[in-house]
Amino acid sequence: MDKQPELCRVDDALNILVGKWKPIILLTLLQQGTKRFSELKRSVPGITQKMLTNQLRELEKEDIITRKVYAQVPPKVEYSITEYGKSLEPILVAMHDWGTAHNLHKKNIISN
């Protein structure tokens, strides 16, 4: 049942990153800083309100992002990466770099 202690350490990071919209949400917040709910919705084309809320809540639970509510009408809520969340950036960068190379790999296969 248990995995090797050394090996399963990767699963913690993976579980946090996994979610249809989490990577793009995190990258948006990392690159563009604090954003309102509606701004995020615009920054992530195709996402529904339900899913945006859902993914944000999960990231918040993991202490990767923070949620700041302004008591006003109309409502205003801002989301930001936590310091802890910023520690995920090297992983996202590694994946982004790999993704770029992956694209080239696929093109090479096709061209052969």
Partner DNA sequence: CTGTATCCAGGCGGATACTG
Partner DNA sequence: CAGTATCCGCCTGGATACAG
Chain residues in the site for DNA (CB under 7 A): 18-21, 36-39, 47-51, 53-57, 67, 69, 74-77
Counting DSSP H helices and E strands in the chain, the numbers are: 6, 3
The rounded distance, in Å, linking the Cα atoms of 104 and 19 is 25
Long-range pairs of 1-4 with CB within 8 A, sequence gap ≥ 24: none
Q: Residue 29: which of its own copies, DNA, none does it interact with, CB under 5 to 8 A by kind?
A: none
Q: What burial class does residue 79 get, using C-beta atoms within 10 Å of its C-beta: 0-12 exposed, 13-18 middle, 19+ buried? A: buried
Chosen residue from 14, 33, 57, 76 binding its own copies by CB under 8 A: 14
Angle at 43 between CA 40 and CA 44, to 5 degrees: 90
* Residue numbers 16-75 binding its own copies by CB under 8 A: 17-18, 23-24, 27-28, 44-46, 63
- Smallest gap, in angstroms, from Cβ of residue 54 to its own copies? 17
Rounded CA gap, 26 and 22, in Å? 6
Closest to its own copies by CB, 78 vs 89, is 89
Which of 69, 72, 99, 110 binds its own copies (CB under 8 A)? It is 99
- Give the residues lining the site for its own copies (CB under 8 A): 1-4, 6-14, 17-18, 23-24, 27-28, 44-46, 63, 84, 87-88, 90-92, 94-96, 98-103, 105, 109
